[in-house]
Amino acid sequence: MDSISDKQFSEWARSIQSGDEIAFKNMFDATFENYVRYAWRFTKNKDSAMDIVQESFIKLWQKRSNLDPSKSLKTYLYRIVKNNSLNYLRDTRQHTTQMEDVQIADDSSIVFEEDQESELLEPLKKWIDELPDRQQEAFKLSRYEGLSHDEIAEIMDISARTVNNHIVAALNNLQERYKSYKDVSGKHYE
């Protein structure tokens, strides 16, 4: 989605606001997969992620007259998808708690496909998942979604400066863990 310019998003916002169905379809085609991946990070399930994004686009269309073209349509939809994902997790929590043990057992049997250079990948993934919630969210939005601090600020409803603090704290955190990991394993990476 990095390839879609802010200008493109604001053109879509203006057209969609005035009821342009084609612009809506174009935006859907260009961004659907990306938002599905974002929702998948919450649900870990493709079908529910697609349902969530489907609902989000429906909401976007129904509320199109409230769109503010001076604000980012990209982050607006991120926020809707995030809220819908959290609602989904909340609503399904009761059902999934019994399942958790089974899933954890499954997870441990997953074998990572590792090539030589990526010995770091598995521990790094674990460290990222163990970051404090807000740090983790800011870090992932920055690194995985490629969003700017200002965009992340809108999605997380905090100031851009706080976003920077979270991400810098996350990097410090990961750096510390990497350092002690290197010290323990005695290995050297370039």
Partner 1 sequence: MNSKNSFNNWLNKFLDELDQEKQENVEKIWTEAKRTDESQKVSVSEEEKDKVFATIASQTGIDTDTKDKDDEPKPTKIRTLNWRWIAAAATIVIAAGLSYLAIPVQYSASYGEMATVTLPDQSTVTLNSGSSITYNRLFNLIDREVSLEGEAYFEVENRNLPFIVHTSNATVKVLGTSFNIRSWKDSPVPETSVLLTEGSLAFYPTEKPDKSVILEPSQKSSLKNIDGIPEQPFDVSKDKTLAWMNNQFAFENVPLIQIIREIERRFDLNIQVEPKEVLFDTLTIYYNNKVDADQIVQDICQSKALKYRKINGGFIIENKR
Which residues here bind partner 1, judged by CB under 8 A? 14-15, 18, 20-22, 24-25, 28-29, 32-33, 36-38, 40-41, 46, 49-50, 53-54, 57-58, 61-62, 69-70, 83, 87, 118, 120-121, 124-125, 128, 134, 139-140, 143-144, 148-149, 153, 157-159, 162, 164, 167-169, 171, 174-175, 178-179, 189-190
We find the least distance from the C-beta atom of residue 87 to partner 1, in angstroms, to be 8
Q: How many helices (H) and strands (E) does the chain have?
A: 9, 0
Instruction: Show the CA angle centred on residue 170, arms to residues 169 and 174, nearest 5°.
Output: 120
Residues in the chain: 190
Q: Residue-wise over 43-52: b if at least 16 C-beta within 10 A, else e? A: beeeebbbbb
Residue number with CB closer to partner 1 (4 or 134): 134
We find the least distance from the C-beta atom of residue 98 to partner 1, in angstroms, to be 24
Residue number with CB closer to partner 1 (62 or 97): 62
> Scanning the structure block, which residue is given the tokens 């920077």?
164
We find the least distance from the C-beta atom of residue 101 to partner 1, in angstroms, to be 21
- List all residues 6 or more positions away from 84 whose beta carbon is below 8 Å from its beta carbon: 39, 52, 55, 56, 59
